Structure 1
Amino acid sequence: MRAVTNWFGGLAWTGQTVAFFVLAVVVVLAAVMLLQFRKVMYMASSIGLVFLGMAGMYVLLGADFLAFAQILIYAGAITILMLFAIMLTRHDEVEEEERAGLRQWLAGLGAVALGAAMLWAIRTTTWPAAPAQPPWPARNSVTALAETLFTSYVVPFELVSVLLTVALVGAVILARKGD
């Protein structure tokens, strides 16, 4: 048991810690399934599972509004929008079979090396102590989120809105080229 405690840095195994690890495994497995599936409907379902797992992470962080927005906007609207787009477009069911070539083996080896490097970096970093109080109170997270968003992060917020507008205009231009 001591080796497990040392490996996880002396984490106290509370319900919140167990819930975090369960949600993390669900999110990572759903993301891997998203990359492994060949049928687009299965991909859309697995990305919906990723969105739901992230909403659970937001609940654990005490950001109830973000969790609700994640479920409502991403897990609900975006996933349904992707499913409708898949159903309304023509896509061929015929797919060519891929063999595991050198490129895929190198990609897998690179992914394992990246994971090992990240694990090493996380384990060797001295992390600062947690603050005595959370950045915002969990009972009123909407007000604190709005204050933080519109004071400290106003420039990134505006850049994201410009990026989304450019993406929308690009989508319209691409859709018109098809006609």
Structure 2
Amino acid sequence: MSGEFIAFFLLSMMAIGGAIFMINLTRVVHMVLALAFTFFSIAGIYVLLNAEFLAAVQVLIYTGAVSILMLFGIMLTRHRDGGGDETSRRPWHTLFSFLGVAAFFGAVMWVIYHTPMPSETAKTSAYTVAKLGESVFKQYVIPFELTSVLLLVALVGAVILAKKEADS
């Protein structure tokens, strides 16, 4: 067993654990923290794959921006803490959820094992961060800017809606 294998195993268990916590926790703030933990673990896996740029993007965009956006949404809207016993009202929900997840896992594993993998490696020297930057800021600058404007409008709309709820 190499150190890389142990690091991969620990990071994947942390990512899976964070995802499980996010699904099972009842408070929304705790769910966001578990999601951020999962995102950090995935960034660590990117570092193990020698994709430092993707790890940095993972931390900046997903862990930072998405988690902060979710926390803003939580703070700006009124929500009731439902922490009731939903499992007592729906006893079959857990069984059907488990069967659905098991079927999905089986389908994914079947596709993985029956997909032919190419034996030759790709030439990664042609794909650099500089070429990605040129592509984003030359060829895709309009969609990039439109997406940022759309996100800004969505944030302003959420603030306006939350303010209307607070005034009434």
| TM-score between both structures, scaled by the size of structure 2 | 0.71
1:77-92 matches, cutoff 5 A:
78-79=66-67, 82=70, 86=74, 92=80
2:29 pairs, out of 14, 31, 41, with: 41
1:123 pairs, out of 113, 124, 133, with: 113
Does the 8 Å contact 2:73/2:158 carry over to 1? no
RCO comparison, higher one (Cα < 8 Å, 6+): 2
Deviations 1:120-164 (A, max 9, x none): 110111012352532657xxx531331343467667646643552
Q: In the comparison of the two structures, how many residue pairs are matched?
A: 164
Residue in 2 that maps onto 1:149 = 136
Residue in 1 that maps onto 2:97 = 107
Structure 2: tracts of 5 or more residues without a match: none
Residues 106, 135 of structure 1: alpha-carbon distance in 2 compared, 3 angstrom cutoff: farther
Residues 111, 65 of structure 1: alpha-carbon distance in 2 compared, 3 angstrom cutoff: same
Does the 8 Å contact 2:76/2:158 carry over to 1? no
Larger relative helix fraction? 2
Deviations 1:44-95 (A, max 9, x none): 2211101211211222333323323433454346545655765687655562
- Percent identity for Structure 1 against Structure 2: 44
Give the alignment's Cα RMSD to 1 decimal.
Answer: 3.5
Q: Secondary structure at the match of 1:95?
A: coil
Structure 1: tracts of 5 or more residues without a match: 1-12
| TM-score between both structures, scaled by the size of structure 1 | 0.67
- What is the one-letter code of the residue matched to 2:103? A
